[in-house]
């Protein structure tokens, strides 16, 4: 019993192994189907490659030049902000521009890319139609189609509510050019009347604008394919819509996480030249926008300086008039000579009072500008300061009175304003990003105003100290005439106005130099070029995969069909389904020889004591009776005495009240088998189908061995699996009946 169980387990393990020999024979027997599948898949791959849209990735490397890092005042300001309590400085400082993510939002903004699309005319697309394939043309299109500028803008204006598109089919033939226009509004398409032109240029007026068609002057090398007839598809799409498609296919990222001033700009596109032009134009537009922002800040500073110059000029004129009137009243011409002794003593303090007065007036100008609510989101003029003598004690105090910290706050405010303007180009005023920047600007205002007040108090304290010293000096020269005091005050005021005037003139020159010295913010250090291996689809790979699938699919299908096939058709399948001995393979053409083979193999596989043979099968019609009869004749032919007992009582007409199972189970039947066994060399028992009746199992108790008939195309694999583990069938031997 254990031995039988072990045999079953071993059989199951062997059956689970992958049979490469069987697979190879399966391929050989079905090679025509496999070849047909390979050819079909190759054709499908060829058709796919013909109609598929080919793309290539163009990449350029750009260096981001962040000039703010070179500004020591801004760096000091950021350091000061970081020291503010409750994380205020960190939240403000974190908004500084220059990071890759911030630059990505700028360079991939819809407004910037839309400008590139308009500059390159990418909203007009040309495709050459040939053999069902539409090839994108760029810089080698035979004709140029243009839409008037007003309607190009109108396409974008209408886009939020209605999608408009213009399609043209331009066919060139022997008689000239045929143009078939179509207008698209939303999902509806309207075909316009076909128009024919003998020559170009030509004009077509539509509801979406006036179209101008003219020949494109191409070099002879590029114009040659269009000498005959051609069919050209032209599509004009809203530039904003085209820009969105380009943004989706564009990537902007750092080469690695450690690099913060480099970025790779990549575009996946159908045409290499178009991709290269797009990347170059995108960087140019990015630089132009940055330069425009820088120019705006410089213009703001220039406007501020010019306004102050006009105001100071008026004030200086009033001081000159007061100086002239005072000299007339006192009837003097050279008061300096008369008061030379007194002025020599107090000259040092006057110089300092002039300098600190200049500083105070400049401070008041800036305070007036900052405190104006209209300037909340405006650039604060930068770099305006007084020429205080840093070598003196009071000058040193002025330089350390907090002006550097205030300048850094101005720089921070300007950074936030620039960021806000950048965001407004791509998002609305109510967006969360704008609200956060607005909040940061508003939170910075109290800090700015506090710093300005603190600086003014410091200036006033130094001015009061000088005034006291000056008063002491004046007290020591109390004998000076009244006119000297009046003229001195007027003269000091004149000097302050003159110093401020000169400072404003100097600042105006510096601003003019800034406007003239504009450098790019982004620089392409690696020009855009196709990435190796980025072409899609890859023809060789597609063909290889197609050929592989062409061979694999039919083999896999055949193998799966073979695996799930239940009926046994060939001897190979029979050998795979069972490890029981196969005595013979019976065919209609070689039946006699096959019976002799069956007889020989039977005698070799049974012992001398095994004399009773049961002939059985799972189904009726498998050839049990035929095999039993032919085996009896074959054994008799070699001198063996054989008794053939028909155990298939179901096929006989039995008397009423008799049953086949009862007859086989009766002692009389057992005696008949025993008597036949004694008087004959072999006893052959013919049985009914196992699947229908249990008679075969009753007959098996008399048998020493079983000839199990497997009928090709009829016997199931499950039947053999049951036979392998069925202990009720003694010593089963297989006969394959084809």
Interhelix angle 272-330/403-424, nearest 10 degrees: 140
Which contacts (CB < 8 Å, 24+ apart) does range 536-540 have? 536/54, 536/55, 536/56, 537/48, 537/49, 537/52, 537/54, 539/49
- Please say if the pLDDT value at position 581 is more than 70: yes
pLDDT score recorded for residue 703: 95
pTM of the model as a whole: 0.57
Query: How many whole angstroms separate alpha carbon 569 and alpha carbon 575?
Result: 11
The better pLDDT of the pair 654, 128 is held by: 128
pLDDT score recorded for residue 482: 60
Residue 575: both structure tokens together:
């050998």
pLDDT score recorded for residue 477: 57
pLDDT-based confidence at 326, cuts 50/70/90?
low
pLDDT score recorded for residue 125: 97
Segment 416-429, tens digit of pLDDT: 998 888 888 888 88
CB 164 within 8 A of CB 143: no
pLDDT score recorded for residue 483: 59
pLDDT score recorded for residue 399: 36
The better pLDDT of the pair 476, 617 is held by: 617
Q: Select, from the ranges 340-344, 529-533, 653-657, the one with the highest average predicted confidence (pLDDT).
A: 529-533
Query: How many whole angstroms separate alpha carbon 266 and alpha carbon 275?
Result: 9
What residues are paired with 567 via a beta bridge? Answer: 716
pLDDT-based confidence at 475, cuts 50/70/90?
low
Segment 153-188, tens digit of pLDDT: 999 999 888 899 999 999 999 889 999 999 999 889
Segment 426-460, tens digit of pLDDT: 888 888 888 988 999 999 999 999 999 998 999 99
Q: Tell me the CB-side half-sphere exposure of residue 649, using CA atoms within 13 A.
A: 18
Segment 225-243, tens digit of pLDDT: 998 899 999 999 999 999 9
Segment 140-159, tens digit of pLDDT: 999 999 999 999 999 999 98
pLDDT score recorded for residue 96: 39
The better pLDDT of the pair 101, 136 is held by: 136
Query: How many whole angstroms separate alpha carbon 685 and alpha carbon 627?
Result: 11
Query: How many whole angstroms separate alpha carbon 419 and alpha carbon 444?
Result: 15
Buried/exposed code over 51-88 (b: 16+ C-beta within 10 A; e: otherwise): eeeebbbbbbbbbbbbeeeebebbeebbebbeeeeeeb
Mean pLDDT for 506-523 is 74
Q: Select, from the ranges 209-213, 449-453, 487-491, the one with the highest average predicted confidence (pLDDT).
A: 209-213
Mean pLDDT for 48-54 is 90
Angular region, 593: left φ>0, alpha ψ -120 to 50, beta rest:
alpha
* DSSP string across 300-328: HHHHHHHHHHHHHHHHHHHHHHHHHHHHH
CB 242 within 8 A of CB 183: no
Give whole-number Cα distances, 212 to 154, 215, 227, 648, in Å: 17, 10, 21, 97
Mean pLDDT for 65-87 is 46
Q: Which of 48-52, 335-339, 575-579 has the lowest mean pLDDT?
A: 335-339
CB atoms inside a 10 Å sphere around CB 473: 16
Query: How many whole angstroms separate alpha carbon 677 and alpha carbon 684?
Result: 10
H or E segment at 209?
strand 209-215
The better pLDDT of the pair 313, 583 is held by: 583
pLDDT score recorded for residue 179: 97
pLDDT score recorded for residue 98: 46
- Please say if the pLDDT value at position 60 is more than 50: yes
Q: Which domains does the chain have, with CATH numbers?
A: 1-52+552-564 (no CATH), 124-237 (no CATH), 314-521 (no CATH), 571-737 (3.40.50.300)
Segment 588-621, tens digit of pLDDT: 777 889 999 999 999 999 999 999 999 999 998 8
- Please say if the pLDDT value at position 391 is more than 60: no
Buried/exposed code over 709-726 (b: 16+ C-beta within 10 A; e: otherwise): bbbbebbbbebbbebbeb
pLDDT score recorded for residue 500: 78
pLDDT score recorded for residue 88: 38
- Please say if the pLDDT value at position 702 is more than 80: yes
């Amino acid at each position: 019993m254990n031995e039988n169980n072990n045999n079953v387990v071993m059989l199951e393990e062997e059956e689970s192994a992958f049979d490469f020999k069987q697979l190879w024979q399966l391929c050989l027997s079905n090679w025509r189907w496999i070849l047909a599948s390979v050819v079909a898949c190759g054709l499908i791959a060829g058709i796919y490659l013909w109609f598929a849209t080919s793309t290539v990735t163009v990449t350029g490397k750009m260096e981001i030049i962040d000039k703010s890092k070179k500004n020591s005042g801004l760096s000091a300001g950021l350091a000061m902000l970081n020291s503010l309590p409750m994380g205020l400085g960190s939240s403000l400082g974190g908004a500084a521009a220059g990071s890759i993510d911030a630059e990505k939002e700028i360079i991939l903004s819809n407004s910037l890319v839309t400008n590139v699309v308009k500059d390159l005319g990418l909203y007009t697309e040309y495709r050459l139609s040939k053999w069902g394939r539409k090839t994108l043309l760029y810089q080698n299109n035979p004709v140029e189609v243009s839409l008037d500028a007003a309607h190009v803008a109108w396409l974008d204006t209408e886009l939020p509510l209605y999608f408009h598109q213009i399609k043209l089919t331009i066919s060139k033939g022997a008689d000239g050019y045929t143009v078939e226009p179509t207008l698209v509004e939303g999902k509806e398409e309207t075909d316009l009347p076909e128009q024919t032109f003998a020559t170009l240029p030509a004009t077509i007026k539509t509801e979406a604008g006036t179209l101008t068609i003219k020949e494109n002057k191409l070099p002879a090398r590029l114009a040659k394919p269009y000498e005959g007839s051609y069919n050209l598809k032209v599509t004009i799409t809203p530039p904003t819509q085209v820009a969105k498609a380009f943004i989706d296919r564009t990537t902007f990222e750092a080469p690695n996480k450690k690099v913060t001033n480099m970025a790779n700009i990549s575009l996946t596109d159908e045409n290499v030249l178009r991709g290269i032009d797009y990347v170059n134009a995108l960087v140019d537009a990015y630089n132009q926008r940055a330069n425009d922002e820088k120019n705006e800040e410089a213009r703001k500073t220039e406007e501020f300086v010019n306004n102050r110059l006009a105001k100071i000029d008026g004030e200086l004129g009033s001081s000159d008039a007061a100086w002239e009137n005072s000299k007339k009243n006192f009837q003097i011409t050279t008061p300096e000579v008369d008061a030379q002794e007194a002025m020599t003593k107090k000259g040092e303090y006057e110089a300092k009072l002039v300098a600190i007065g200049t500083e105070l007036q400049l401070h008041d100008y800036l305070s007036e500008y900052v405190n104006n609510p209209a300037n909340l989101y405006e650039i604060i003029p930068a770099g305006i300061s007084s020429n205080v003598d840093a070598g003196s004690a009071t000058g040193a105090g002025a330089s350390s009175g907090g002006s550097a910290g205030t300048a850094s706050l101005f720089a921070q405010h300007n950074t936030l304003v620039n960021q806000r303007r950048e965001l407004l180009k791509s998002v609305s005023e109510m967006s969360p990003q704008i609200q956060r920047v607005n909040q940061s600007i508003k939170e910075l205002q109290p800090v700015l105003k506090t710093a300005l007040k603190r600086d003014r108090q410091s200036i006033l304290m130094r001015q009061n100290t000088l005034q006291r010293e000056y008063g002491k000096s004046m007290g020591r020269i109390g004998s000076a005439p009244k006119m000297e005091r009046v003229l001195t005050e007027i003269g000091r005021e004149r000097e302050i106005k003159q110093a401020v005037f000169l400072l404003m003139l100097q600042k105006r020159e510096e601003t003019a130099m800034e406007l003239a010295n504009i450098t790019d913010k982004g620089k392409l250090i690696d020009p855009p070029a196709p990435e190796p291996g980025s072409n899609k689809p890859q023809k060789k790979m597609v063909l290889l995969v197609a050929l592989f699938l062409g061979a694999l699919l039919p083999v896999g299908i055949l193998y799966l069909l073979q695996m799930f096939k239940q009926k046994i058709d060939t001897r190979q399948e029979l050998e795979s389904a069972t490890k029981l001995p196969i005595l013979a393979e019976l065919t209609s053409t070689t039946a006699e020889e096959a019976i002799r083979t069956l007889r020989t193999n039977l005698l070799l596989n049974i012992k001398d004591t095994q004399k009773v043979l049961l002939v059985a099968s799972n189904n009726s019609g498998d050839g049990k009776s035929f095999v039993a009869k032919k085996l009896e004749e074959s054994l008799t032919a070699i001198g063996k005495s054989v008794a053939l007992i028909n155990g298939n009582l179901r096929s006989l007409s039995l008397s009423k009240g008799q049953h086949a199972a009862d007859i086989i189970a009766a002692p009389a039947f057992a005696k008949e088998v025993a008597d036949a066994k004694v008087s004959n060399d072999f006893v052959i028992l013919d049985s009914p189908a196992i699947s229908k009746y249990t008679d075969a199992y009753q007959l098996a108790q008399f048998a020493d061995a079983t000839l199990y008939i497997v009928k090709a195309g009829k016997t199931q694999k499950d039947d053999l699996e049951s036979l392998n583990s069925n202990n009720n069938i003694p010593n089963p031997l297989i006969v394959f009946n084809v």
